[in-house]
Chains A and B, each alone.
Chain A
Amino acid sequence: MTGETGKKAPGFDPGVLVIAGLLTIAGAVIVWSAWSAPAAGGYARIGPTAAPWVIGAVLLILGGATAVSAFRGSFPEREPQAFPPMLWIVGGLAAQMLLIKPLGFSIATGLLFAATARAFGGRPLWMTIPAGIAFAFVVWVAFSRGLSLNLPAGPLERLL
């Protein structure tokens, strides 16, 4: 969105149709949740379901308008993307999420660091994993001891 937008890709754009579908599903879920919620009693005319009704309905309309754009091809052109680096980063974040409880902040976050470095073509993993764990350990000490943030501890942190 730095100004090169505005170029038109002619024709049908399946990616945009997927977005339209997701917006429609989100709108439908929100409207359904408002519809199925227990009615607010008393004199509250505008209860907790009013905003979901409106926001859900607008999302449905936006989904429809986006679907029209998909067929018109009125979205800006996109650059081709490389997927392996993305998978490294998503994998690193997922690994950190799963390992942070059992293994603690430093090991889990060190793996995330190494995976991200790998996505940007960094050094081999046998170097970046120890470097990442060391870095994350320093960060853990600084923030959990220095600023007393509550960061999950694992075997490595308990050595301290």
Chain B
Amino acid sequence: MMETLPLLGQGLLTAMEPVNLLYALIGVTLGTAVGVLPGIGPALTVALLLPATYKLDPAGSLIMFAGIYYGGMYGGSTTSILLNTPGESASVVTALEGNKMAKAGRGGPALATAAIGSFVAGLIATLGLAFLAPWVVKFALSFGPAEYFALMVLAFVTVSAAFGDSTLRGLTSLFIGLALGLVGIDQQTGQARLSFGVPDLLDGIEVTTVAVAMFAVGETLTMASATHRLAEKVEAVKGSVWMTLDDWKRSWKAWLRGTAIGFPIGAMPAGGADIASFLSYAAEKNLTKHPEEFGKGAIEGVAGPEAANNASAAGTLVPLLTLGLPTTATAAIMLAGFQQFGLQPGPLLFITSKDLVWGLIASLLVANFMLLVLNLPLISIWVRLLTIPRPWLYGGILVFATLGTIGANPSPFELGLLLAFGLMGYFLRRYGYPIAPVIVGLILGPMAEQQLRRALAISQGDPSILAGSAISITILLLALFMFLLPIVLRARGRGKVLAQLASDTD
């Protein structure tokens, strides 16, 4: 606890350097601009903008990246309030009440409560991250390979089997990702696996290529082939964006409750922002004094889920930074962003690159302030982005998707992979398979294998080391519980709730 404040202060000094402020500002602006575009969620926002950070130094790049991440979360809420097709699954819930408010001419207050709620939640949750991280790091320094392997098993289970409408499809997605992770040279023995003599495959399959292919190309194919498109109407923001006293009274508790729900869900390897915002919506619906307004534009139904959404986004950074464990597709892509600089998130990063980590955490606070300014007075600029005609929008999305792919590896082969995985993403979507487990499996699979082999090398092949400590036993039991719970719930006819909690794009 005590060590956080000086470290955070040091980080703020890094974040306030003019050049870093500029990177943060570019990051939040790009993040908001891309996040606002219909059909683009935070995972794709981060994947598309990754190439923009290739040539920067690690600190500048990660600060810009943090801004992109938070900006993408803010941008998504604007889309779902003003347009009834939310750009990210975490904002589906926001659309329930937010779009109704916009239709009733209360779009301004809806955007305001979303932005201020996101700010409050982002502020509290980022401070939560700052105070929780040193504690988790201290704990994690005692972890051996067996504990890491158990944690990764838990992450695999929660991302694939625990939520969504089918354990079979979740596991299939996960194992497709794990199989893709096998491709390339084995890190420990140098043996080539599943490369079929193709030299381009020896380096393995890029996480960003698969993510961009599945989210951008897959989504574009899905939208283009839809036979009946939803009538999309952008609601004009009428009247003031300022909230009335009554709006404030009804919002502030919802913001705090949303934060309290969102942060722990993000911080535990328990799933993404969509789960948090769904639970927050359910809580607000139960606690409201105006139940008659729910479904017709209740402001609590926007305030709570939006706060939960952002708090969970900050919470996701706890396992990502302290353990190197991505629990959502967005976090998996961010991990790939770290790895491009040879940085491996985890407890050691807090020791070896202290300035970098705390500069990053502090710049999240800075980004949050910038986003409040960007999203309240300047909202009308972003709203205009919603009216881009579909042909131009998706043409542009594919231009930037291929740009990112070629920027990472200028070869037609990489574009071939983009097309192949794009088609795969389309068919996965069409048959109801979740995408996030593919991405998480791809990046976490090789890491889990490495930990497993290290653990077994230490024990000279005795598998009992995997359940050799109280910590790893607890984590493995938790994973087993998360695996069996949905099967039991579905057998008892409670599967609908799980289907609504499906982790998809986030």
Most A C-beta atoms less than 10 A away, residue of B178, B179, B389, B445: B179
Whether A62 and B172, one on each chain, are in contact in the complex, defined by CB atoms closer than 8 angstroms, is: yes
User: Which residues in B have their C-beta under 8 angstroms from that of A80?
Assistant: 227
Within 8 A of A (CB), among B380-431: 389-392, 394-396, 398-400, 402-403, 406-407, 410, 412, 415-416, 418-419, 422-423, 426-427, 429-431
Chain A residues near B434: list those with CB within 8 A.
1
Chain A minimum-CB-distance residue to B416: A97
B191 within 8 A of A: yes
Q: Is B217 an interface residue (CB 8 A)?
A: yes
In contact, A3 and B431 (Cβ under 8 angstroms): no
Which residues from 110 to 133 on chain A have a C-beta closer than 8 Å to any C-beta of chain B?
Answer: 112-114, 116-123, 128, 132
Which residues on A sit within 8 Å (CB–CB) of B189? 40, 44, 47-48
Given known pairs A82-B227, A116-B391, the reply for A55 and B429 (CB within 8 Å) is: no
How close is A140's CB to chain B, nearest CB, in angstroms? 9
| Contact call A86/B224, Cβ cutoff below 8 A | yes
Pick from A26, A89, A122: contact of B220, CB under 8 Å: A89
**Residues of A contacting B179 with CB < 8 Å?**
26, 30, 55-56, 59
Is A37 engaged at the interface, CB distance under 8 Å to the other chain?
yes
CA distance A51 to B183 in the complex (A): 11
Where chain B touches its partner, the secondary structure class is helix
Q: Which of B226-259 contact A (CB under 8 A)?
A: 226-228
Query: Is A147 an interface position by the 8 A CB rule?
Result: yes
Q: Shortest Cβ distance from B403 into chain A, in angstroms?
A: 6
B355 at the interface (CB under 8 A from A): no
Contact yes or no, A5 B419, CB < 8 A: no
Q: A55-B175, A82-B227, A83-B225 are in contact. Are A97 and B395 (CB under 8 A)?
A: no
Is B398 in contact with A113, judged by CB distance below 8 angstroms? yes
A90 contacts the other chain (Cβ, under 8 Å)?
Answer: yes
| Closest residue on chain B to residue A105 by CB atoms | B406
Which range contains the number of B residues in contact with the other chain? 35 or more
Are A119 and B224 touching (Cβ within 8 A)?
yes
The A interface is mostly helix, strand or loop, or mixed, namely helix
Q: Is the CB of A79 within 8 A of B226?
A: yes
On whether the beta carbons of A97 and B168 are closer than 8 Å, the reply is no
Interchain CB contact under 8 A, B407 and A109: no
Given contacts A62-B172, A151-B406, contact A1 B432 (CB under 8 A): yes
Assess whether A97 is in contact with B226, with CB atoms less than 8 Å apart.
no
**Interface 1/0 per residue, A19-57 and B, CB below 8 Å:** 100010010011001000110100111111011100110
* A52-85 with Cβ < 8 A to chain B: 52, 55-56, 58-59, 62, 65-66, 69, 75-76, 78-83, 85
In the docked arrangement, what's the CA distance between A150 and B406, Å? 8
Binds A, one of B122-130, B473-481, B494-502: B494-502
0/1 string, B188-224, CB within 8 A of A gives 1:
1101011000000000000000000000010011011
Residues on A lying within 8 angstroms of B by beta carbon are 1-3, 5-6, 15-16, 19, 23, 26, 29-30, 33, 37-38, 40, 43-48, 50-52, 55-56, 58-59, 62, 65-66, 69, 75-76, 78-83, 85-86, 88-90, 92-94, 96-98, 100-101, 105, 109, 112-114, 116-123, 128, 132, 135-136, 139, 143, 147-152
